[in-house]
Amino acid sequence: MSAPLAPETVAIADVAVVLLVALLVGRFTRRLHQPPVVAEILTGILLGPSLLGLLPGHLPAHLFPDQSRSLLNGIAQVGLVVFMFLAGWELDLRSLRGRGRWLGATAGLTMAVPFAVGAGAGALLVGGFGPKGVSHGDFVLYLATAFSITAFPVLARVLRDNGLSRSRVGNLAMACAAVGDVLAWCLLVLVVALVSAKGQSQFWTVLAETAGYGLVLVVVVRPLLSRLVDRAGARGGYGTLFTATAAGLMLSAYATGWIGIHTIFGAFAFGLVMPRRPATELHEQLGVPMERLAALLLPVYFVVTGLSVDVSALGGRGLVALLVVLAAAVSGKAVGAVVPVRLSGLGWRESLAFGALMNTRGLTELVVLGIGRQLGLITGEMFTIMVLMALLTTAMAGPLLRALRMVPAAVPGRAEAETVTDRQPRPAAVK
């Protein structure tokens, strides 16, 4: 009998399996006009106990043994940090200047109404689905935050795939999602600090350290990055820039983890302060390698997530809760997004399309859910319900846009294979 394989050897084989399955599932979902994130969420669920676990032989445990899962989780976290950097880099807040108060009010409503509806759903579900040892208030506050999410990166991909990137409703959706993303991450920082802090004094300490670190990024790190970019452009040394940027975003992620919030906030904030000019050169020399790295590593994150999702264990009570969650998620975004833009003068068709776009959640929602599960804010059953909600609401957007006849006839749907999760719009396109 041969010696047992080393955990790192098993982990390497697991990555190959994940990438191949994601590729096969992606071929199917593209025919349904779905973004890559839907295929990758499905891949994670299919390789976990929800499907593979139903077959004889305890296949998920053999394919992803405990010894290799810690290595896979480390790989997944690196991919997640890179993704959050790209998400922050794409959010050029300067492009929102001059949009007026109306944009702020609209973006606020697209978050506030789902937040309120999510709080109501949380209050309804806390008795049967709230974890022991967590206050009802923390559970409701966290769930309300999760309901208010719109995934800016996947929204950009949906718009591009459906030929709506330059449309009036597309521009409005991108602007509102950009504002909403920043608000959502700020709100999540508060929730994480509140839950993680041991006492009121530590809560304020964490907030003060977070604000101080943000100031360091703006005052110190951003000018240094600008000089580094200028020097790289003058000398043609973009390879050094890539290495320095990768090291910087990892250190930034470490800093926020050390403060006591989460590593993703540091990566996201580092992306916000990263220079965006010269756009073409930075995209080719920095953006493309980062996207390829995310394409390689992020599918592993979905499988690590999928191993915690067990649809078969929900039962009747869980299915009822899923219906409640779906109804709250869709109705909250519908009212919060459709009503204000309809009152502003958009037609019903464009208003409904805007609501469908703002209902996309994608990987951003899974990141929020992963944080909640790590902090013990939701049970495994509630985690499964919320992951299914994220999958279904994201998958709705493409078919709804086609049903509303918003997709130009010249855009039948992309046939080419792409594996970057929630692929970012090019920084070169940011004006």
Q: What is the pLDDT of residues 129-169, one digit of tens each?
A: 888 888 888 899 999 999 988 887 788 778 877 788 778 88
- Provide the CA 32 distance to its chain's centre, in angstroms: 21
Interval 390-402: pLDDT, tens: 999 999 888 888 8
Contacts of 343 (CB under 8 A, 6+ apart): none
What pLDDT does residue 409 have? 58
Query: 378-404 burial, b if ≥16 CB within 10 A, otherwise e?
Result: bbebbbbbbbbbbbbbbbbbbebbeeb
> How many Cα atoms within 13 Å fall on the side-chain side of residue 278?
11
Across the range 176-202, mean pLDDT stands at: 79
Whether the pTM exceeds 0.85: the reply is: no
pLDDT tens digits along 56-107: 878 888 888 888 888 998 999 998 899 889 888 887 666 656 555 667 778 8
Hey, what domains does the chain have and what are their CATH numbers?
Answer: 83-295+311-429 (1.20.1530.20)
Q: What is the pLDDT of residue 96?
A: 58
Give me the chain's average pLDDT, please. Answer: 83
Q: How far apart are alpha carbons 378 and 369 in whole angstroms?
A: 8
The per-residue pLDDT for 249 is 93
Q: Taking a C-beta distance cutoff of 8 angstroms, is the pair 399, 353 a contact?
A: no
25 with 291: CB under 8 angstroms? no
Q: Is 424 exposed, middle or buried (0-12, 13-18, 19+ CB in 10 A)?
A: buried
- Residue-wise pLDDT tens digits, 264-280: 889 989 998 999 888 78
Give the pLDDT score at 331. Answer: 92
Which token pair is 38?
């839907």
How many CB atoms within 10 Å of residue 226?
Answer: 14
Residue with tokens 């880099």: 89
